[in-house]
Amino acid sequence: MKNWFYLLPVGAAIFVASCSKKNNETKQVNISEESYNQAKALFKSVSGRATSDENPLTPEKIELGKVLYYDTRLSKDGNISCNSCHNLATFGVDNKATSPGDDGTLGERNSPTVLNAAFHSTQFWDGRAKDVEEQAGMPILNPVEMAIPSEQFLVDRLSQIAEYKDLFVKAFPTDENPVSYNNIKKSIAAFERTLITPSPFDSFLNGNKSALTAQQISGLETFVKVGCTACHNGSLMGGNMFQKFGVYSDYRTLTNSKVNDEGRKKVTNQEADKDMFKVPSLRNIAKTAPYFHDGSVSNLNDAVKIMAKLNLNRDLTDQEIKDIVAFLESLTGDVPEKAKEIPAILSAKS
């Protein structure tokens, strides 16, 4: 007992040292005014909702859109919903390389997160949809995805459901025929326009310089210094341009991709668009693995290393990669809790 008692000061010292070490690991450091102002010039914070003049947001439209988003009846055989591939409980993705459709067939490309997507300049990896309204209607009719045979098929199906007739009338009170495919798209998009996720980095940009840890600030400075901001800038850290994936070499050599996907060329048939893809937003990137258009890379450290080599011709050190990944973790925001709740109206659906 006596020996144990005399060990107390030693144990206390070890405990204090341990806590001190932990605090040092997360201790904030001052960022120079030059670096801070550069960050504020390169990036913008997000908040609120992504509004649209063509599709004004109303509580009724958003409520209807949420129900539609979670309803498996928007797929032919009722096996999947929008949330199946863009799961709001897991940051708007399903964490699979490619997603299974209504009949289990896998799609050709990785399902990107729906979070903050309404701020993107275009939708899909190849930009074939101009906004979330147009995008919302495409997977429903895609035979590999939700496989609904036609627009009228879904309109007829939903028109037979009393709850939906009521929801559509409330959402579109001036429409003579409120249950329409166009209104289905508008409603889903209206809900998606509320899925905005401010993060610690936004707090940092808005003046709270202590919102980032010392390592995250180092990662931010490295991110800027090595040239990542050429493509990943603005409020989304991406999502606003197309870029060739593999400027200095063929991306397939480093990603070990199983499918030869030539990107936007499939849409435009232009050789200049070969391997061109929409630059993904880096918001919530630490939670949305696997990465790239085909989900070929599962580890974020590896993805950072590959991107630096392919598009910047830079061989990053292990420390630079760790710092950049730490910075990217500061882009993780909170998914609105209410958005993650499955609508009660669907629990009793027939």
Beta carbons within 10 angstroms of residue 14's beta carbon = 10
- Nearest-angstrom CA–CA distance, 87 and 178: 28
Closest C-alpha to 241, from 271, 264, 269, 267: 264
Q: Name the helix (H) or strand (E) containing 32.
A: none
CB-CB contact of 105 with 348 (8 Å): no
Contacts of 233 (CB under 8 A, 6+ apart): 42, 43, 240
- Nearest-angstrom CA–CA distance, 175 and 110: 37
Sign of the CA dihedral with 156 first, then 162, 165, and 171 last: negative
Query: Which residue is catalytic, options 145, 192, 320, 329?
Result: 145
Active site residue 34: no
- Nearest-angstrom CA–CA distance, 176 and 156: 16
Beta carbons within 10 angstroms of residue 286's beta carbon = 17
Closest C-alpha to 65, from 82, 45, 42, 88: 82
Q: Which burial class, exposed, middle or buried, applies to 232 when counting CB atoms under 10 A from its CB (0-12, 13-18, 19+)?
A: buried
CB-CB contact of 39 with 209 (8 Å): no
CB-CB contact of 165 with 159 (8 Å): yes
Provide the 3-class DSSP secondary structure of residue 266: helix
Residue 186 corresponds to which tokens in the numbers above? 């508008």
Please identify every residue annotated as catalytic: 145
